[in-house]
Amino acid sequence: MTRLSKPAGEIRDRYDVVVVGSGYGGGVAACRLAAAGRRVCVLERGRELQPGDYPNDTRSMAREVQVDTGLGHFGSESAMFDLRAYEDLNVAMGCGLGGTSLINAGLCLRPDPRTFEDPRWPDELGEPGVLDSYFQRAEAVLQPAPWPEAFGQPAKLGALERIARELNAPISRVPMAVNFEALPDGLNRAGVAQQPCVGCGDCLTGCNYAAKNTVLMNYLPQARRHGAELFTGAKVAHVEQSSAGWRVWFQVAGPDGKHFSDDLRSVIADTVVLSAGALGSTEILLRSRTSGLALSPALGHHVSGNGDTVGLVYNADVPIHGIGHGKRPAEGRKRVGACSTGIIDGRIGTALEDGWVLIDGAIPGALGKWLPAMVGVLDLFTGRDTDTGFGDHFRERRRAWQSKLFGPYTGAVNHTQACLMVTQDDASGELRMEGDRLVLHWPDVGRQAPFRNADATMHEAARALGGTYVPNPVWHELLGRKLITGHPLGGSAMANDARDGVVNHLGQVFSEATGTAVHQGLFVMDGAVVPRSLGVNPLMAITALAERSVDHLIHASDASRLAIAQGLR
């Protein structure tokens, strides 16, 4: 596959548009604006990794992890897995050209329509069906599809069906941004070579088979084809207004790609679109406010973890085959399936805030070597077995020893089901700068009722499979009931005015502490604008909101250009 990006040293002095970040929001903005004839520059702090470059064993995985903690930053600053350890909520994000789309499950789910009735959304988004056409645009590009019947049923999907019967809740195959078909000439609609999914289960560590429909496979190559210039190794610090337009200040990665230079460079644009994610875009605005940019006092507030909680059903009575292939060839091996194949829907017939969905997961093969020891320890200290009896205990111990002796594709680990539950939280977290570090404060978030209820539901899921329930290891009373999320939202939330949010319904950044005045040419288009948890994986909502924002931006600027031209006649 042709590389899309250029080194940051080739950035020109000025563009019509600078897009910061290259995930779903940034991909939409770059693609649509370049197609509309704008000179577009995309700044991405991570590297460009293509299928074949992604980690598939312990050593390569270790090189692709960076961790930010109160004690410092560990690992390369351009590593693909960006982990943030905060006091109350830990966050996992993607870092690279394509953003978190590189490392997510790619689940394409629309939120419950009741979600947009919440008054925290701007009035314009509360109108029924206002996002429908933009969801359709996103689906036309991302091409979601469920796991095909013709591929057979993965064992973990069969296990999920057993759980659904125990919970008395409906189950269906979940639409995924994954390609399952042999394409004409091997090329997708963006002209990028793609293969059908092989069911290796390694979606979360990057698809080395070019089957996953990441932003790198669709929006970004279309942006490049329309003339957008994509740069990696450029970490944006802040933005400021100048007489020439918006000045975007950034740092460039050093020769080793592991650290960024302390020196700041800048580029000028008429329009800036911040799409660096909930944490990244909010941090840029916080730094910009420190540099003098007038912004809403709501900046940093209304942060959500999207109600995420995770757990394991360990050592179940049935085989799951839920460990990805890693560096092992897919040929001749049992198909794990995509990372997620099914969804149990607990939203039907319940109040919005009591709803939940339960989704199967796959553990990447790159982690496989350490799983028998790690899960064994978790089982010992936090596991809750759901069945009893000498015979059952003997079989469980025998499977545990099989995994320890012969590896994760045997025994107890091979009988382990990973689960993701998406519930609701109150979106009351706060991002702020402490010195030079972005921090997240959200006391006692893990003690909120939805997470206690999710814990009980996953325990019932384990009972359905005759396994041991192993909760999120940091969701423990001794550790303060901490949570982990891969779906941070908010921080630069939408609202009707600046008292309650940072941007309006189009993602335009408010320019005063109150009222609806905005900074002309400054937008946020990513998960940072979402003012509450969504109840499902958020990529579809983020993409649809970005499609709507950029659609209005293009039409408004085209109308303005036409008016100016007519005035000059």
| 127 vs 131: CA distance, rounded Å | 9
**pLDDT tens column, 353-395:** 999 999 999 999 999 999 999 999 999 889 999 988 888 889 9
Which residue in 57, 49, 65 sits closest to 365, CA to CA?
A: 57
pLDDT of 565 higher than 50: no
Between 439 and 7, the more confident residue is 439
251's enclosing H/E stretch is strand 245-252
pLDDT at 473: 85
**pLDDT tens column, 498-521:** 999 999 999 999 999 999 999 999
Between 325 and 474, the more confident residue is 325
pLDDT grade for 560, boundaries at 50, 70 and 90: low
Mean pLDDT value across residues 468-490 = 88
| 324 vs 308: CA distance, rounded Å | 22
**pLDDT tens column, 153-182:** 999 999 999 999 999 999 999 999 999 999
pLDDT of 561 higher than 70: no
pLDDT of 556 higher than 90: no
pLDDT grade for 478, boundaries at 50, 70 and 90: low
User: 3-state SS string over 289-300?
Assistant: HHCCCCCCCCCC
| 311 vs 84: CA distance, rounded Å | 19
Angle between helices 539-568 and 24-35 in degrees, nearest 10: 30
Q: pTM of the entire structure?
A: 0.96
pLDDT at 564: 41
CATH architecture of 147-176+178-184+309-424+445-479: 2-Layer Sandwich (3.30)
pLDDT of 224 higher than 60: yes
Q: Which amino acid, 84?
A: R
Q: Which amino acid, 515?
A: G
| 438 vs 279: CA distance, rounded Å | 8
pLDDT of 559 higher than 80: no
Q: Are 490 and 301 in contact (CB under 8 A)?
A: yes
Mean pLDDT value across residues 75-85 = 96
pLDDT of 309 higher than 60: yes
**pLDDT tens column, 410-420:** 999 999 999 99
Please give the full DSSP string across 39-78, using - where no structure is assigned.
-EEEEESS----TT-S--SHHHHHHTEEEEETTEEES-TT
Tell me how far the alpha carbon of residue 449 is from its chain's centroid: 24
pLDDT of 121 higher than 90: yes
pLDDT of 562 higher than 60: no
Take residue 3 and report the two structure tokens written for it. 């590389």
